[in-house]
Amino acid sequence: MFCKATLLTVALALLASATPVAREPSPASGISIPLQKRGSLKNADGTFNHEKAVREIVKLKNKHRQNLINLQNNLGSDALPEGAEILPLATVPATFQKRGAVKLTDQEDDLEWTGSISIGSPAQSFTIDFDTGSSDLWVPSSSCRSCEGHKTYNPSKSSTSSKKSGSFRISYGDGSTASGTPYADTVTVGGVTVTGQYLAAVTTESSEFEQDPADGLLGLGLPAISELGHNPFFNTAVQQGAVSEGVFSFKLGQSGSELFVGGTNSDLYSGNIESHKLSSSKGYWQIGGAKVTLNGKTAASNFDTVIDSGSTIMTAPPDAADAFWRQVKGSQVYDEEQGLYSFPCNSVPEVAFSWGGKSWTVSADDFNLGETEQGSSQCVGALSGGNLGLGDSTWLLGDTFMKNVYTVFSVDDNSVGFAELA
């Protein structure tokens, strides 16, 4: 179990300059894990999948709500970031809940990124969603009766499994929950093996996951937001010396997507890595001093950003999103409750983010989530306005941004870095 004193010491150490640091490529010494893309917010006919997006937004809000609860439980109320608040559970609007039994179309394109891991001795294999915005590993238990269609974990068949005290529970916007029992076991991710890794074996699974292609989730966030109250997998790997470098990296794209554990894969990026020290130790991969430009002009500046591989739509605080979209000619409010906006399809805004160094542009294809309806001249944009409880100056950048850069997360340096894709 991690201790509060250690985390608070790290917090003081992170009062560092936001000046970016260039790191030269180093020889690849880690393990490559191929990732598969699953799901999309764009239908096959090019239109926006409104229901799927709403469910994604509600899921995102509740994930970060739970993160803040975990942070408060682990470190106390004073540990919440300035301006952060634990909001009521977000819910899926009734109009969509009534259609909840309808299977959502899976277009196999960019909503979720999955890879393979194994748990136990002998190994039991699972398809997992890798999420830098959470910090726990959970998979369905063999005793789960609502987990049909997913591989399940049977602790009695693992000689290295050990049941632990406590419980694990996640709440969802449709009113359902996923809950289970903590265990510790051997876990292998792409050839990197750790022992005694805490995980949750889910015994009741939310209906939200019935159509999910992933069996479970592996959190790559920082320890402070772990609901289990123990080190996430990668921190365990660093602690046990299972990786030569306390770094993991993502390439997300139309092909060749991978999670690289224990360093960076220099074949997948060019030039130096522009690294930025974390602006907070509060459990998130969060960097400050951000600026966003719109068609080359500054639209907002001096805000923090959480880099979250477990989300798709970029999210800004409601007022900041409204101010951004007011600068987009022809923009309209598409869904006020969920903070979604549209713009003329024939004039996709050029959006780029920077942190005191290079500007990193979001491609037009990634920013455009599709026509509001078939034949419409308006398209939905990938920047929404939503209160995630993270504060008025914190934005969240997910896969929409990450698909345009090579992203490097360093436990060694407490930093997030970006490089040009090769």
Question: Which positions are annotated as active-site residues?
Answer: 131, 308
Residue 164, number of CB atoms within 10 A of its CB? 14
205: which DSSP letter? -
The amino acid present at 381, given as its one-letter code, is G
Whether 250 and 407 have beta carbons less than 8 Å apart is answered as: yes
225: which DSSP letter? G
Sequence-distant (6+) residues with CB within 8 A of 55 are 92, 96, 104, 173, 208
Sequence-distant (6+) residues with CB within 8 A of 132 are 219, 220, 221, 250, 285, 307, 308, 309, 310, 409
Closest CA to 306 of 399, 415, 397, 410: 397
Indicate the Cα dihedral angle 330, 336, 340, 343, nearest 10°.
Answer: -10
Calculate the CA 114 to chain-centre distance: 12
For helices 50-75 and 4-13, angle between their N-to-C axes, nearest 10 degrees: 110
